[in-house]
A and B are shown apart, each in its own frame.
Chain A
Amino acid sequence: MTAHVVNRSVAERTLARQFAEQELCERLPARAAAFARFAAVGLPTRRVEAWHYTDLRASMADAAPILPAPTRADVEAARSRLAGRERLAAGAQLVLLGGRFIAELSDPLPTGVSIAEGIAAHAADDPLAALNEALSPCGYTISIVRGANIAEPITLLHLGDEASSCSVYSRTAIEFDVEAQASFVEIFEGAHAGVQRHRVTILALAEGARAKHVAFVGDEPGLHIETQICELAKGAELTAFGLISGGDLTRRQIFVRMTGEEAKASLGGLALVDGARRADTTLQVVHAAPSGTSREFYRTIVDDDAVGVFQGKIIVEKAAQKTDGAMKSQAILLSPRAQMNEKPELEIFADDVVCGHGATVASLDPEQLFYLQSRGIANSDAKAMLLQAFGGEAIDRIEDRSLIDPLRARLAAWLETRKTKT
């Protein structure tokens, strides 16, 4: 027998059925192509290099039903939750329920910024990014006009309040026109363990654009898969940061491609992983044009039986002479059972570049702990101080006080819950 046997998992069969059952109007050719790209690989196992430390096929027993559009009651419930909610950042807030933008719950956008509906296609070489494109019930494109300088950050609030198990797909492209400047904060809130979240954000930066993007995963979904696809034209500058403090299995994958000269990317993150959680951050930064700069600075704190993953790959293409790249990942393990997997990589095809990477895994420094304790500071407080410092240094690289302070406060709150736990 020569037939190609594909042994699909339960989840993969469910995903295929979900795609087949989509409304006809949603079945655009691009989405069919995207589903085919997903199906060719399926849910990645450890054999897929970029997923080496996170066996999604094994950990996803089934795909939960796709969340239908919110009802009137859902919108009203969200409205009352928003009423008493403290905002993380100033500026306009856009609210998404189940991946759908809800205009009546959102603030008006500042001049120079607009939002339109439509699924942005992108042939990213990743099965989950393709799956997102195939199954997202809707998508949006936010545009910032040429030369606009938006002072206050715009918040995309993903508000969850799902009653039962469900999959939430959402997809947003943010397009910065030439020399446009803006900051975005994406907050994921309210999801419970039955939620499987699939999120794609595309950041397209035209020449000289400057973008800041901060993501905060503070809720407790069973699965959080977030893909960021970033493209930087000549002289564009991107600062992207992610704080993870919840979720059973969290995967943030960031693909950056610098297509224009003298582009700059500063990527950073802080993952706080405890209990039996797993947090995976995977980066791929491609320097495709000369004189680009990239900085990657990630820190992870792992406690209990949790697992942290950092994979980072910097690819310097032949044309990308004078590239300056530096990647660093540092982790602290707080428990003898905690695990951290780090895989930094460089692939350099140009000959005139400065690139480096470093990865460390350590415990808290006993000398530092002793010094603090010798001044009367209790062991648990001393540990919290050192962890606040360790995590805070990652947060500080956002270089925007109005965002640094609330994120540092989240870190402090997480450390406080740790203290009461032990």
Chain B
Amino acid sequence: MTAISMGRTRPEKRRMLEIKNLSVSIEDKLILDNLSLSVNAGEVAAVMGPNGSGKSTLAYVLAGKPAYKVISGDILLDGESLLELEPNKRALKGLFLAFQYPIEIPGVAAMTFLKAALNAQRRPRGESDLTTPDFMRRVREAAQELKIDQEMLRRPLNVGFSGGEKKRFEVLQMALLTPRVSVLDETDSGLDIDALRVVAEGVNALRSPKRAFVVITHYQRLLDHIKPDVVHVMARGRIVASGGPELALELERNGYRDYAEEAA
């Protein structure tokens, strides 16, 4: 897989993901408060914020996790609302969430899961199921890029995976499913520097004018490896500042204190 240089292609200024005035609560506690955010095609948007600012809630609500209550607002993917769609339908529309804490599922082999996911996404597009050799080849190639051991794929899904292995496996799924909008929720947490580099390279390889990324992170560290086009600062359930990559560096120096106060 080759990375497509952003310089050679003219960036489309097309809104791919649009979050409009979104308010969300869980168990009657307001977590997202009238949040608005747009991500253009081809863009990597970083969402940074202190703990408890609602970053993970945003990720889950985008993917359609039950238990969250959307009070008002909308989420549009290519102009189409996702709110009424089940999580799997959102995935079929091209949305992907790389989990902060990937779920362990004993008894389901990682390979069985991958195949089910790939075929579930192929069928609605009118494509036939992958043959076993074709499937194996794709997985092998993607796994190699991400330095994932074949042995790991024979284990039950995420069971006994180290923190780094889990995150690499999330990126492997992303590479195989080729989503149009990928949301990475604290993909850097629990990674050592080598694993971080591998994961970041995996993400960078997928960058394209046809795709967009929402990279949620607490620290600047990940953004040294995945260079964002825009940086949004989130505090108290809303976007309180937006800017270029320099904003992330400023946060690294000054912390979130200013923004937390501003939002209050």
Q: Which residues of A contact B (CB under 8 A)?
A: 366-368, 370-379, 381-382, 385-386, 388-390, 392-393
- From B86, B108, B156, A379 is in contact (CB under 8 Å) with B86
- Contacting residues, chain A, for B86 (C-beta < 8 A): 373, 378-379
- Contacting residues, chain A, for B142 (C-beta < 8 A): none
Q: How many A-B residue pairs have CB under 8 A?
A: 79
- From A366, A367, A375, A389, B106 is in contact (CB under 8 Å) with A389
Tell me if B116 counts as interface (CB < 8 A to partner A).
yes
Q: Establish whether residues B117 and A377, one from each chain, have CB atoms under 8 Å apart when the complex forms.
A: yes
Given contacts A373-B88, A375-B173, contact A386 B105 (CB under 8 A): yes
Tell me if B44 counts as interface (CB < 8 A to partner A).
no
Given contacts A370-B65, A370-B87, contact A377 B107 (CB under 8 A): no
Q: Establish whether residues B107 and A376, one from each chain, have CB atoms under 8 Å apart when the complex forms.
A: no
Tell me if B235 counts as interface (CB < 8 A to partner A).
no
Give 1 or 0 for each of B102-135: 1 = CB within 8 Å of chain A CB. Answer: 1101111000110011001100000000000000
Q: Establish whether residues B88 and A392, one from each chain, have CB atoms under 8 Å apart when the complex forms.
A: no
Tell me if B92 counts as interface (CB < 8 A to partner A).
yes
Cα distance A372–B115 in the bound complex, in angstroms:
12
Q: Establish whether residues B103 and A381, one from each chain, have CB atoms under 8 Å apart when the complex forms.
A: no
Pull 5 A–B residue pairs with CB atoms less than 8 Å apart, ordered by A: A371-B102, A372-B113, A374-B88, A381-B116, A393-B107
Report the nearest A residue to B124, measured CB to CB.
Answer: A376
- Contacting residues, chain A, for B103 (C-beta < 8 A): 367-368, 370-371
Within 8 A of A (CB), among B139-163: 156
Cα distance A381–B113 in the bound complex, in angstroms:
11
- From B106, B156, B177, A376 is in contact (CB under 8 Å) with B177
Cα distance A392–B107 in the bound complex, in angstroms:
7
Tell me if B215 counts as interface (CB < 8 A to partner A).
no
- Contacting residues, chain A, for B67 (C-beta < 8 A): 366
Q: Establish whether residues A373 and B108, one from each chain, have CB atoms under 8 Å apart when the complex forms.
A: no
Q: In the assembled complex, how far is the CB of residue A69 from the closest CB belonging to chain B, in whole angstroms?
A: 46
- Contacting residues, chain B, for A366 (C-beta < 8 A): 66-67
Q: A382-B88, A386-B107 are in contact. List 18 more A-B contacts (CB 8 A).
A: A370-B87, A374-B64, A374-B87, A374-B97, A375-B116, A376-B88, A377-B117, A377-B120, A378-B88, A379-B88, A385-B112, A385-B116, A386-B105, A386-B108, A389-B105, A389-B156, A390-B107, A393-B106
Within 8 A of A (CB), among B71-118: 86-88, 90-92, 96-97, 99, 102-103, 105-108, 112-113, 116-117
Report the nearest A residue to B157, measured CB to CB.
Answer: A371
Tell me if B234 counts as interface (CB < 8 A to partner A).
no
Q: In the assembled complex, how far is the CB of residue B61 from the closest CB belonging to chain A, in whole angstroms?
A: 12
